[in-house]
Chains A and B, each alone.
Chain A
Amino acid sequence: MKENLILIAYIISAILFIIGIKRLGKVDTARQGNFLSAVGMLIAIIATLFMMDAIPLEWVITGIAIGAIIGAVSATKVAMTAMPEMVAIFNGFGGGASALVASAEFFKIHGGSAANNDTTTLIIIMLSVIIGSLTFTGSFIAWGKLQGRITGQPITYPGQNMVNGLILVGVVIFGYLAVTNMSGFVAETTEINMLWFSIVIAIGLILGILSVLPIGGADMPVVISLLNSYSGIAAAMTGFVLQNHALIVSGCLVGASGLFLTNIMCKGMNRSLGNVLFSAFGKVDKSAVQKTTAGVTVKEMSPDNAAYTMQAAESVIIVPGYGMAVAQAQHEVRKLSDELEKTGVDVKFAVHPVAGRMPGHMNVLLAEANISYDKLFDMDEINDDFACTDVALIIGANDVVNPAARHDESSPIYGMPILNVDQAKTTFVLKRSMNPGFAGISNELFGYDNNYMVFGDAKATVSQFVETLKE
């Protein structure tokens, strides 16, 4: 009876998760969807506590309290610009938790106190531990790359593929050893079992580090989305070990939806997932990059003159990028858009699917600055408008407006759909210096005849625009 009640509670929370994810996909219902899914989570947790015969309350309450405080404080304190990193960290903890739960189950089998100790269970435990620990370290590397604590450039070394291949072989061998030693005879081989198992965990952790390090910083959104999917899969695996329906259903939901989202992101860059993970940015021919940097002459314009040009324009399309996020310029950008509209200029925002460090990153920032989202346009909606636009104002965006993506086959971003800013009558690029962007690729747009550079900090420059327009 009790068993069934708990299963019913799990069914309710599964329904809430499904409705929650569905509603998260629409602007009007998104917040409600997130709330429903949170309620589902609460129901699942309470039902689980209800199921347990003897609740070691001190462990449970202390653990939840510590986790809740850490989670709540970091979620409320984090700046909107650092959101992608935050999601990566949370995700890493989720993966880590799954690995820990699977490990606990392994130790239980080890001690002879587990209900299921068949080979299948052991294999699933190994998979859960590997995927969970890989998610844990991989997420932290992604965080480091986004924070700039680890270089955004792909880190490669000779024989990298060999090393990764060896590690994969190693994980299979040691996993096999740990599993075969375990099923059947238990007591005698205990120490050697623990050794194999520790090696499997260590390899999982190393695999996470090594597989994310060679990926360029600009691709981190895809990586985070994929790791999010992994943590779902790890949770589902843990569910199989514990034979827990809630874990399996929710884990599979996240695993599948995360994979779909990853795929959508890759499509936005016109690349395959395999290409993002294993090559591309890692194998850039440095000479090709150098070649395009040399001999480009750029024209500079003062902020005042740029402001006058925009004032005289009929239409302005603002293209925000990560530079805007770094400079925290979104509020100034809102003021600029307001001032321009006062003088009768038609202002729109063009958001590239992978602008910033995460899809939708720019939308979140512009929304934070109270820019109504019906002024924001996706690439497909707005790309034809550039040709009849007077000014395209590019604030801290780089690779997503690089025309090299259209024709330069040696460019690492070749084939990625870009915003057609070069078709506007005039383009202004706000940039700190001529340094290449996050992906480390020079931008040929800067040398175009109709382009003017406005050097300086994005926030300072935009507020200079606003000052000039007010006069």
Chain B
Amino acid sequence: MELIILLFIAVLATFAGGELIGKVPPQLHTPLMSGSNAISGITIVGALIAVGASGNDRLLAIIGFCAIVFGTINVVGGYLVTDRMLKMFKKK
């Protein structure tokens, strides 16, 4: 049952994601791609859970640790680089 509910959420989120992109001016495509890329770094949440649940298993902890590093690079780098791009879009 739980799986069906999750699927339900996924379908709604997918449609929402599609609706959000519509009349975006081309000049914002790069920042938008970069900004949504940062959001895909949400997988860091999964990495945290993986490390948290690793218990005494060394291998799991190491995999989870690498995932945290990768995910954080994605999140921090993604948001900062997007902000840097957007900072330059100002009217004279």
Contacts and interface: CB of A to CB of B under 8 A. Distances in A.
Interface in A343-396: 351, 353, 358-361, 363-364, 367-368, 370, 372-374, 376, 378
Contacts of A90: 34, 37-38, 41, 73-74, 77-78, 81
Contacts of B41: 41, 90, 94, 97
Interface size class of B (residues with CB under 8 A): 35 or more
Contacts of B80: 71-72, 75-76
A143 to B, nearest CB: 13
What's the dominant secondary structure at chain B's contact region?
A: helix
Contacts of B69: 63, 66-67, 70
Interface of A: 14, 17-18, 20-22, 24-27, 30-31, 33-35, 37-38, 41, 44-45, 48-49, 52-56, 59-60, 62-64, 66-68, 70-72, 74-76, 78, 80, 83-84, 86-87, 89-91, 93-94, 96-98, 100-101, 103-105, 107-108, 111, 113, 120, 224-225, 228, 231-232, 234-236, 238-240, 242-261, 264-265, 268, 351, 353, 358-361, 363-364, 367-368, 370, 372-374, 376, 378
- Shortest beta-carbon contacts, A-B, top 10: A67-B72, A256-B17, A63-B68, A71-B77, A363-B27, A71-B76, A359-B29, A252-B13, A360-B30, A75-B80
Given A76-B80, A93-B73, A228 B40 contact: yes
A236 B9 CA distance: 11
What's the dominant secondary structure at chain A's contact region?
A: helix
B30 A351 contact: no
Given A34-B82, A359-B30, A120 B48 contact: no
A15 B78 CA distance: 19
A24 B83 CA distance: 11
Contacts of A104: 50, 54, 60, 63-64, 67
Given A31-B83, A361-B30, A364-B31, A253 B20 contact: yes
Nearest to B50: A104
Given A21-B35, A97-B67, A236 B47 contact: no
A58 to B, nearest CB: 10
Contacts of A66: 69, 72
Interface in B11-27: 11, 13-18, 20-27
A127 B48 CA distance: 21
B30 A242 contact: no
Contacts of A250: 13, 39-40, 42
A111 B57 contact: yes
Contact of A251 (B40, B63, B75, B79): B40
B64 A59 contact: yes
Contacts of B70: 67, 93-94, 96-97, 100
Contact of B36 (A68, A232, A370): A232
Contacts of B53: 108
Contact of B26 (A225, A235, A246, A360): A360
A60 B68 contact: yes
Interface of B: 2-3, 6, 9-11, 13-18, 20-55, 57, 59-61, 63-92
B38 A41 contact: yes
A86 B68 contact: no
A71 B39 contact: no
Nearest to B51: A59
Find the residue from A35, A70, A93, A235 having the highest chain B CB count within 10 A: A93
28 contacts: A20-B35, A31-B83, A37-B38, A60-B68, A63-B72, A71-B73, A71-B74, A71-B78, A72-B77, A75-B80, A90-B38, A90-B73, A94-B74, A101-B64, A108-B53, A113-B55, A225-B33, A235-B43, A242-B49, A245-B9, A251-B42, A252-B10, A252-B13, A253-B16, A254-B40, A261-B36, A358-B30, A364-B31
Find the residue from B2, B20, B60, B91 having the highest chain A CB count within 10 A: B20
B50 A105 contact: yes
A94 B36 CA distance: 11
B88 A364 contact: yes
A294 to B, nearest CB: 36
A75 B45 contact: no
Nearest to B88: A367
Contacts of A113: 55, 57
B71 A67 contact: yes
A407 B91 CA distance: 39
A254 B16 CA distance: 10
A105 B3 CA distance: 17
Find the residue from B24, B40, B66 having the highest chain A CB count within 10 A: B40
Contacts of A94: 37, 40-41, 43, 70-71, 74, 78
